[in-house]
Structure 1
Amino acid sequence: MPRLDFEARDRDGVLKKYGYLDMEDGEEEEPAKMTFYGDIVSSEAWGADREPQQIVDFLAELPENKQINLYFNSPGGDAFAGVAMYNILNRWKGKRVGYVEAIAASAATMPLMACDEIHMGTGAEIMIHDPWTWTAGNAAYLRDCADRLEKVGDHYADIYAKKAAEGVTREELRQAMTAETWIDSSNAARYFDIITDGGEAAAPAASVFYKKYKAVPQHVLDALEAQEAARMAAQSAERVTAKNNQAKAADAAEERQSRAQALLCDLYLYGT
């Protein structure tokens, strides 16, 4: 099963892996499966412009009209890569069913919106907001970046409007984007045509992007904090185990050395 690692740069500029995309073709009678369990990235922003092409390659191997089930636990990422994924998946003639297992935020909402049917469980979250970026340059370049961001935001709103709940306008969704709106199973029907299931949400995928958002729900932050605490505890336990193993190895080496010295002493005494 092909695995595509998701990468993003931390605050020190170091490229790190924060998730992956598994893509597999199920049995002939079963839907194909695609899981988004990390950041959405592209070469323009992160140096990994292969996700959209990987999806193209994956779909090229499937029988025509085969159903695809997409599973989401992604805090978002590169806005342009998200739009590319939407367009690629939207061209697929088979049925597309999306499941929000924990998080589908920002750019991750684009492949989600390409689904004919969207499900989300209790505690799962969808987040829509105005796209943002970080860059550097002169005034003309920065104005151009702002114009392009505005256009991307308009494209997102157009796509959201196609999945809007009855009576919800594009303008209302655009306002929700500006406010950074988090949508769960209790208020999903206010925005989108979504099927709410009774299953509990999975733990949210870890990412640097949460620090960039301004209205992350407290239960998501609590879950991320618990994950980080568990990770730190596991690392601490590993360090303690490694230290104990080193101490045991040192004790064993010292014991062997003592035995060797005792043996040499006995041989010396025997020889005299």
Structure 2
Amino acid sequence: MKKQNLPVAPQTLQKVPVAFDLSADALNKWESGIRAEIEDDNTISILDPIGIDYLTGEGVTAKRIAAALRQIGNDRDVTVYINSPGGNMFEGFAIYNLLRNHGGKITVKIIGIAASAASIIAMAADELQIARAGFLMIHNCWLHAVGNRHDFRATAETIEPFDLAMSDIYATRSGLDKNVIISMMDNETHIVGNDAVEQGFADSLLPADVVTKQKESDPNSSIKKLDALLAKAQLPRTERRKFIQELKTSMSSAASESTPCAASDVQINVEIGSTAKLSNSLKGILK
């Protein structure tokens, strides 16, 4: 499908009093070590949460993607690799529009998961390929809001058109009836590789040798897994951020107080102390 035949995603200039969050299920299923086997100078990799990741300060933003497209050049074809658990819907819409409006051909390759906002980005392709073990996850906007009943009512009314816009994009891309798409979004649907092709979301399956899996040695991957566990326990994002920051501070302090002459013992003590602190803290949170 030519990407220009897809709907333009809405943009909002209105300040909406919400915080978008990652689905705990998507976070749990996201393997951050999955990478493309080969990348070149016309490749864009979307391998992190969409928007600024509050855990690491990293993330995929429209500003970053716009800069990458400028560097590649508007008339050149672009390959976009995606392995992302989703994130900020507004950033996702903005990135979708950037790719949709690009002059060259956009080939999207889902090498892992394209969930939530990342699944919207994936739709902005002239050609969409997906790994056999990869999957899309589509749902309604996932967010946190604060305020009284009037604020919540206003937030729901503000967000509803964006859910409908997502359903338009999915329906146009797949050819499925819009009511079917709305039902899939209401039920938070995971669509594996073969099904994504059969249902029209993707054009073909990726060859297995396109994808490689790196060892997740980055400490951030462990932090993200802890965040997923806390999210599954229904701990609000603000509390998760506070807890993880306190844990990181505690581990850093323990390491700095150690003497260099007993490095191996220090490491063991730090790990034991940190594990004990984590265990005690989690008992209070997950009880």
Would the TM-score normalized by the shorter structure come out above 0.5?
yes
How many angstroms apart in 1 are the aligned matches of 2:265 and 2:189?
55
Correspondence for 1:105: 115
1:66 counterpart SS class: coil
Alignment of 1:88-167 (within 5 A): 88-165=98-175
Matched residues in 2 for 1:36 and 1:182: separation? 19
Distance 1:202 1:161 in 2: 31
| 1:61 counterpart SS class | helix
The answer to whether the 8 Å contact 1:75/1:210 transfers is no
Which residue of 1 is the match for residue 189 of structure 2?
A: 181
In 2: Cα distance, 1:109 partner to 1:151 partner: 18
- Tell me, yes or no, if structure 1 residue 196 matches structure 2 residue 212: no
In the alignment, structure 1 residue 58 sits paired with structure 2 residue 59: no
Q: Deviations over 1:153-204 (max 9, x none)?
A: 1111111122114xx1122111111111101123111252431234276669
Q: How does 1:17-36 map to 2 (within 5 A)?
A: 32-36=42-46
1:182–1:210: structure 2 CA closer, same or farther, 3 Å change rule?
Answer: farther
SS for the counterpart of 2:104 is coil
2: CA distance between counterparts of 1:52 and 1:127?
A: 21
- Once the two structures are TM-superposed, the CA of residue 9 in structure 1 deviates from its matched residue by 8.6
Residues 1:160 and 1:139: Cα distance change in structure 2 (over 3 Å) = same
Aligned length: 200
- 1:110-149, Cα deviation, whole Å (9 max, x unpaired): 2111111111112111100111210111222111111122
From 239, 253, 262, give the equivalent of 1:246: 262
Higher strand share: 1
CA distance in 2, matches of 1:146, 1:126: 25
* Native 8 Å contact 2:83 2:111 kept in 1: yes
Unaligned regions of 5+ residues in structure 2, if any? 1-19, 23-30, 233-250, 267-287
Task: Tell me how far apart the structure 2 counterparts of residues 248 and 84 of structure 1 sit (CA, whole Å).
Answer: 48
Name the SS for the 1:40 alignment partner. coil
- Separation in 1, partners of 2:70, 2:47: 22
Which amino acid in 2 is paired with 1:102?
G
Kindly name which structure, 1 or 2, has the bigger radius of gyration based on alpha carbons.
1
Distance 2:152 2:62 in 1: 27
| Residue equivalent to 1:67 | 77
- Higher RCO structure (Cα 8 Å, ≥6 apart): 2
> RMSD between aligned alpha carbons?
4.1
For structure 1, which segment, 191-200 or 64-73, has the greater mean C-alpha deviation from structure 2 after superposition?
191-200
TM-score, scaled to structure 1: 0.61
Structure 1 gap ranges (5+): 1-7, 11-17, 214-234, 251-272
Q: Percent identity?
A: 24
